[in-house]
Structure 1
Amino acid sequence: MTDAIKIDVWSDIACPWCYIGKRNLENGLAVVAEDADAPQVEVTYHSYELSPDTPVDFDGDELDFLAGHKGMPREKVQEMLNNVTGVAAGSGLEYRFDLLQHTNTVKAHELLHFAKAQGAQHAMAERLMSAYFTEGRHVGRIDDLVALAAEAGLDADAARDALESGRHLSDVRADQAQAQAYGIQGVPFFVIDGKYGVSGAQPADAFAQITRQVWSERQQA
């Protein structure tokens, strides 16, 4: 029995290309799952904060944040958001930047590590990104995160205890240190089987192709 291919994904809840990359990866893996000799794949999400200095309650909308953060005119920022909204739609995602509540994501990352320990990281990642990009939910405050954890099937009291104690902050920092060691400077970033690095929200067929390639290499070895 060949061991599963490990795909490690560095991403941020507040990264629009990360949600697109997540969906494209899932769609690519769904295609190869239909192969006669379907690869076994294990996907793990890792923490990366794009804007760690962002306050939990940011005063303004996404246009305000990006215009200030990137020093771009609001018109250019709106063009950029329109573009990513269109790309997201092509991956089956309905982005609502008009509803989005910009926030600090460190607690969301802590929650992902809590969910990972419960075997529910994928469900939690999907719930957080959907809440942030398509529903206009707040993903920075503990009360809001506990509610989202419960919606993802996790125990609310246990999730609250994990977030209030901050016991998974060291896991978040370890992920970030690993990203730095790999030289990762932007997300999403995918490390395939510890040896191939894939940067950006690649199309689903690109993920299918590299997965098949790595699986074939495994079989030959």
Structure 2
Amino acid sequence: MNKPLTILNKPVVKIDVVSDVVCPWCYIGKRRLEKALNELSSEYDFEIEYHPFELNPNMPASGANHREYLIEKFGSEDRYEQITGQTAQVAAAEGLNFNFSEKSISPNTRKAHAIAQLAKEKGLQLNIVESLFKAYFTEGLNLADDKNLVAVAVKAGLNQDEVEQLLKDENALVQIALHEQEMYKLGISGVPFYIINNKYGVSGAQASETFVKVLRDVGQEIAAANACDVDGKNC
């Protein structure tokens, strides 16, 4: 009786992640969340779904020069160097390799989000999201180029013909915009944002320890709601 108990039918915690593929803190937050999920894997099961959010929905389809775009956004070249350098250091502490110097284009990300939604239908969304983040931040791939998007998607498990047809489907892009409107209606104005069990919101790339605490609190709440009292009441 000294062995730890194996929990059968573990409580399931639903996590909706709102993010953008060009958001560095979304990738950092992804790693921090994954560390928390790994720590809690013996106690709970997790259901994760990614939702689209474009940091710049008005970005041209062909994208913009990455360095020039961010220098203008941050206000100066010095500020650009400072922010990207600090972000890369934080990413490195989470085991991520950010190569800002490798990126030439800041893309419009609506097509990337459409691919992620297609992947959800195939049970491959987590693979695709990780692949898109890695392609952009580590490999410096131009995600404004359809050929690159197709290559990333196919390597992550999607069918090439389906992805190519998707990228030609204007309705699929409209659906992404509509999905984003739903996020705005929830009051989400920045990413990453995490919705836990359709009830609690967590904003920003929190530390793994913070995710552990929040998820454990929610998991215990779920377990309590599904439990019976000793006397058989509240069943």
TM-score by shorter chain over 0.5: yes
Question: Partner of 2:16: helix, strand, or coil?
Answer: strand
Q: Out of 73, 76, 82, which is 1:73 matched to?
A: 76
Question: Partner of 1:98: helix, strand, or coil?
Answer: helix
Tell whether 2:60 aligns with 1:55: yes
Instruction: State the partner residue of 1:98.
Output: 101
Alpha-carbon distance between aligned partners in 1 of 2:180 and 2:187, rounded to the nearest angstrom: 11
> Displaced runs of 4+ in structure 1, greater than 4 A?
none
Gaps of 5+ in 1: none
The total of aligned residue pairs comes to: 216
Question: Partner of 1:52: helix, strand, or coil?
Answer: coil
Alpha-carbon distance between aligned partners in 1 of 2:77 and 2:185, rounded to the nearest angstrom: 35
Instruction: State the partner residue of 2:48.
Output: 43
Alpha-carbon distance between aligned partners in 1 of 2:48 and 2:64, rounded to the nearest angstrom: 35
Aligned sequence identity (%): 37
Tell whether 2:115 aligns with 1:111: yes
Instruction: State the partner residue of 1:139.
Output: 143
Instruction: State the partner residue of 1:164.
Output: 168
Gaps of 5+ in 2: 1-8, 226-235
Q: How far off is 1:139 after superposition? A: 1.3
Instruction: State the partner residue of 1:185.
Output: 189
After TM superposition, the structure 1 = structure 2 runs for residues 143-154 of structure 1, keeping only pairs within 5 Å, are 143-154=147-158
Question: What is the TM-score of this pair, normalised by structure 2?
Answer: 0.87
Query: Using a 3 Å threshold, how does the CA distance of structure 1 residues 58 and 158 change in structure 2: closer, same or farther?
Result: closer
Q: How far off is 1:170 after superposition? A: 3.8
Q: How far off is 1:59 after superposition? A: 4.7
Q: Out of 24, 31, 43, which is 2:32 matched to?
A: 24
Q: Deviations over 1:98-151 (max 9, x none)?
A: 011311111101111111111100000000000000001111222111111111
Structure number with bigger Rg: 2
Instruction: State the partner residue of 2:92.
Output: 89
Aligned-CA RMSD value: 1.4
